[in-house]
Amino acid sequence: MGENNIQKVVITSDHSGVLLKKEIANYLTAKGYEVIVIGSQSGTAPDDYPDFVEPMANYVLNDKNMVGIAICGTGIGIGIAAAKIKGIYPALCSSPEVAFFARTHNDANVLVLGSRVTAKNTAYKIVDTFLETSFEGGRHKRRIDKIKNLEKKYGAI
Ligand code: RB5
C-alpha cells in the first residue's frame, strides 16, 4: 500500500465493468486493501451506469480514508453520472501518468476506468498510482476551491 492514508476502496461498475471490477478487487485485496465491491453483478444483461454511482458516492463521502473506483465500458458515462453528486470528483484515467495528476493536481476521489478501452494490466498500474499518490495542495487547492464554488452555484458539475 502507499504512504498516504488510503486503505479502503469501494468499487462499482455497470454490466460492462463487472469482470474488470472483480479482477481489480482481487488485486487490491491481495495487496492488503479493504475492498467493498458493489454495483452490477450482471456482466451479461445490459444495465444502466447511472444506477450504480450513489452507493459508491456515499461510502466515499462518509470516510476520508476511502476512495472510489467506478467502471463502465468507456468510463465516460459513469464518470459523468458520478460528477453530479456533490463532493464527488471523478477522474477518467487512461494511464498511470494521468492517474498521478488526477491525485496530485485534481485531488480526485473517484478513479474512473473504461473496461472496453483499458487492458487489465494497465488498469492495475493506474489503480496503484491513484491509490499511492497524494494531493499536492498549494496552487492546486485554489483551483479545487474554484470548482467547489461552481458546485455551490450550479450544483455538482
Ligand atoms: C454500455 O453499453 C456502455 O454504454 C457503458 O458501459 C458506458 O461505456 C457508457 O459511457
Predicted local confidence at residue 155, as pLDDT: 87
Residue of the CA atom closest to atom 2 of ligand 1: 73
* Parent domain of 93: 8-154
Q: Is 93 a catalytic residue?
A: no
Distance 52 CA to ligand 1 centre (A): 12
CATH code at position 135? 3.40.1400.10
Closest ligand 1 atom to 77 CA: 10
Tell me if 72 is assigned to some domain.
yes
For the chain, residues with pLDDT lower than 50 are 2
Model's pTM, two decimal places?
0.96
Whether 81 is covered by a domain: the verdict is: yes
Does some domain include residue 78? yes
CA distance 82 to 72: 12
| Atom 1 of ligand 1, residue of closest alpha carbon | 73
Task: Provide the number of structural domains found in the chain.
Answer: 1
Does some domain include residue 16?
yes
Given the residues 15, 72, 93, 140, the one annotated as active site = 72
pLDDT tens, residue by residue, 92-102: 999 999 999 99
45 to each of 41, 85, 97, 117, how far by Cα in Å? 9, 26, 33, 20
- Rounded Cα distance between 113 and 92, Å, is 6
In the residue annotation, 72 being an active-site residue is answered as yes
80 within some domain: yes
In 11-155, which residue ranges form alpha helices assigned H by DSSP? 18-30, 54-61, 76-83, 96-104, 120-132, 139-154
User: Is there a domain that residue 2 lies in?
Assistant: no
Largest Cα–Cα distance of the chain, in whole Å?
46
DSSP annotation string for 91-116:
EE-SSHHHHHHHHHTT--SEEEEETT
- Asked if residue 75 has its Cβ within 6 Å of ligand 1, the reply is no
Is 3 among the domain residues? no
User: CA-to-CA distance for 123 and 131, rounded, in angstroms?
Assistant: 12
Give the 3-state secondary structure of residue 54: helix
